[in-house]
Structure 1
Amino acid sequence: MDGEGLRRAYGAVLAELEVGGFGAPADGELSAEQIVAHLAANDELMSEATEAVLAGSPFAYYDLETIHRPQLDALVSECGGLDGLTVLLRATSQKLCALADRLGPAGETPVDTVLREGPDLDVDESLPWARALDLHTRLHLPMHLTQLRALRPHLHPA
């Protein structure tokens, strides 16, 4: 597991949040707040699965589909908006990175994994947990970084 790669991916998302200036999403798309709530909630799920792997549990399971928009909206409300969500994401991502650093050979433990986000990320199978974390690092986080960047109104020269 590339813990440094995971940290860099989170660093890029957190840096984008520091820039701010996000506009409203297109119909049916997630707002910046919902994206960050989604990432923080996902971190909690991934941390639970990582803790199960580290404890040697044969029942580790990770299902991103369990996070729904009403849950995201509740988390947005609970955190008081983007600033509070950014603080939460910083904490959840640090926890996940610290757990990932401890994986070592346990990263080969198979975990039943369900990931469905867009055409580039559709998994419903048992994966070595380090592979699931790698997909999160290389596909999932960059996909949401792109969404955040798309929410920033572009200035057009006159």
Structure 2
Amino acid sequence: MDSAGLRGAYRGVLAEVEAGGFRPTGPGGWDAERIVAHLVANDELMSEATEAVLAGAPFAYYDLAGVHRPELDALVAGCGGLPGLATLLRSTSRRLCALVDRLGPAADTPVETHLREGFELVLDEPLPWSRTLDLHVRVHLPRHLGQLRMLRDQPQPA
């Protein structure tokens, strides 16, 4: 499996993060830091699943639902804000891409997948790992890229 599309999607997200200028969100909203922390946490989960597939594990899973606001807040604090998170995202995304490049035919391995992206995408079933990675490239990363852009473009709440 080739990671070219995945690398391109990350380039877009990282360029947006590096552009900066994000406005704060209202109470309970996800600011740029939490969005990037979410992507870092997701990369770790996807890397773990990819490693399990590469190792030939009889059961591999990917469950994004296990990442909650307290974990994201701790990650933000631990990285010291957006610059540290951007550095970490560069690292976690490179690691995931390198693992994906090694998949080859193992990319078709079914992986128990639990994923919810708003109301548009809800998965709770085994999927070929290549399909989950494709959803990450075509749905997940673009969705968060759009959120980052909106944090820059929207007028600040009164």
Whether 1:17 and 2:17 are equivalent positions in the alignment is: yes
Counterpart Cα distance in 1 of 2:50 and 2:121: 20
The answer on whether the counterparts of 1:22 and 1:32 sit within 8 Å (CA) in structure 2 is yes
Q: What is the TM-score when the length of structure 2 is the normalising length? A: 0.95
The answer on whether the counterparts of 1:2 and 1:134 sit within 8 Å (CA) in structure 2 is no
The unaligned stretches of length 5 or more in structure 2 are: none
Describe the SS at the equivalent of 1:132. helix
Counterpart Cα distance in 1 of 2:26 and 2:97: 32
2:143 aligns with: 143
Describe the SS at the equivalent of 2:124. strand
Describe the SS at the equivalent of 2:152. coil
Whether 1:46 and 2:65 are equivalent positions in the alignment is: no
1:71 aligns with: 71
The answer on whether the counterparts of 1:121 and 1:140 sit within 8 Å (CA) in structure 2 is no
Q: Give the 5 Å matches for 1:83-94.
A: 83-94=83-94
Please state how far the C-alpha of 1:154 moved relative to its aligned partner: 5.1
The unaligned stretches of length 5 or more in structure 1 are: none
Please state how far the C-alpha of 1:123 moved relative to its aligned partner: 0.7
Alpha-carbon spacing, 1:112–1:68, altered in 2? closer, same or farther (3 Å): same
Instruction: Give the number of equivalent residue pairs.
Output: 155
Counterpart Cα distance in 1 of 2:53 and 2:14: 27
Q: What is the TM-score when the length of structure 1 is the normalising length? A: 0.95
Percent identical: 68
Describe the SS at the equivalent of 2:119. coil
Describe the SS at the equivalent of 2:111. strand
Aligned-pair RMSD on alpha carbons?
Answer: 1.1
Q: Write the deviation string for residues 68-109 of structure 1: whole angstroms up to 9, x where unpaired.
A: 000000000000000000000000000000000111100000
2:131 aligns with: 131
